Each structure stands twice: as structure tokens, then as C-alpha cells.
Amino acid sequence: MSDTHREVGLEKIGPARFRATNARGGVITLGGGDDPDFTPVELLLAALAGCAAVTVDPITARRATATVFRVAAMGEKVRDEVGTRMQNLTVTFDVEFPEGPEGDAARAILPSAIARTHDRLCTVSRTVETGERVVMGVATGR
């Protein structure tokens, strides 16, 4: 397997409930919205926020450690002639740094770190924005 390949497996664990597992053994449950589990759309939003956060944080942390680091992702789920999809996707950062020259440096780099993340670095938002094709099918031999 190449170092560029990514894969997540999904297994049904109950009515409208599934367990996703990654190659490192990480597990997350998801559901249809009638339980506390994340829905697939919420996971998409979490992926957008998470990708942006894990990209921006190391850039700013080289200057100062954030005292507050929150990221919110939101959008509107619509149903129209195209089908169901999300639109008006927005990722918003709420980040604070300590007073002093290090905090000032981190505050100064934050806008460009977010812009670079949006324009080039975040795989999730770049994939959504470029509209990469998704292929669905049935496993062979089943």
C-alpha cells in the first residue's frame, strides 16, 4: 500500500448505526440522527473543521501556543433538482494567543495560515471545492 492511500472501513452495528475503523485502529460510531452519534453530514463538517485545525495549529504554534483554539464548521443542507447536498459551507476560527511578542507573532500569521490552509493545504476542503468524483459500487464476489 502506498503512503498516499487512505481507507476507512464501515460496519453496521445496529439499526441506522455504524462503526468506522481506520488502519491505525481508530474507531468512531455514526448514525442516522436519532442517537447521540454523529451523522455523516456532521462528520463532513467535523472533517472540514478538523482538517483546517490540524493544518493551522502547527503553523501558529511555532510562534505561540494558543490559549483558546476553536473551529466551527457549518452549512445548509438542501434538497433540490440536483439532489441532497450541503451548501454555504463556512469554517470559522476562534483563536486567542497570550499577550507578548510571541502571541503577537502568532496573531499576525493566523490570517495567512488560514488562507494557505484554504487555498492549498487542507485536503478535505480542497477535495470538496474541486468537486472530486465519487464512485460507488458493490464489492466483487458478493
Q: What is the DSSP string of 35-61?
A: SSSBPHHHHHHHHHHHHHHHHHHHHHH
Is 103 inside any structural domain?
yes
Q: Mean pLDDT per 10-residue run, the chain (142 residues)? A: 88 95 96 93 97 98 98 97 95 98 98 97 96 91 66
User: How long a stretch of residues is the chain?
Assistant: 142
Count up the domains in the chain and report the number: 2
Model pLDDT, residue 140: 82
Model pLDDT, residue 1: 57
Is 114 inside any structural domain?
yes
Burial class (CB in 10 A: 0-12, 13-18, 19+), 24: exposed
Q: Same domain for 33 and 43? A: no
Q: How far apart, in whole angstroms, are the C-alpha atoms of residue 9 and residue 24?
A: 11
Model pLDDT, residue 134: 93
Q: How far apart, in whole angstroms, are the C-alpha atoms of residue 74 and residue 46?
A: 9
Report angle CA 89, 93, 99 to the nearest 5 degrees: 170
Q: Same domain for 98 and 28? A: no
Is 5 inside any structural domain?
yes
Model pLDDT, residue 74: 98
Provide the residue range defining the domain that includes 117. 39-130
Is 142 inside any structural domain?
no
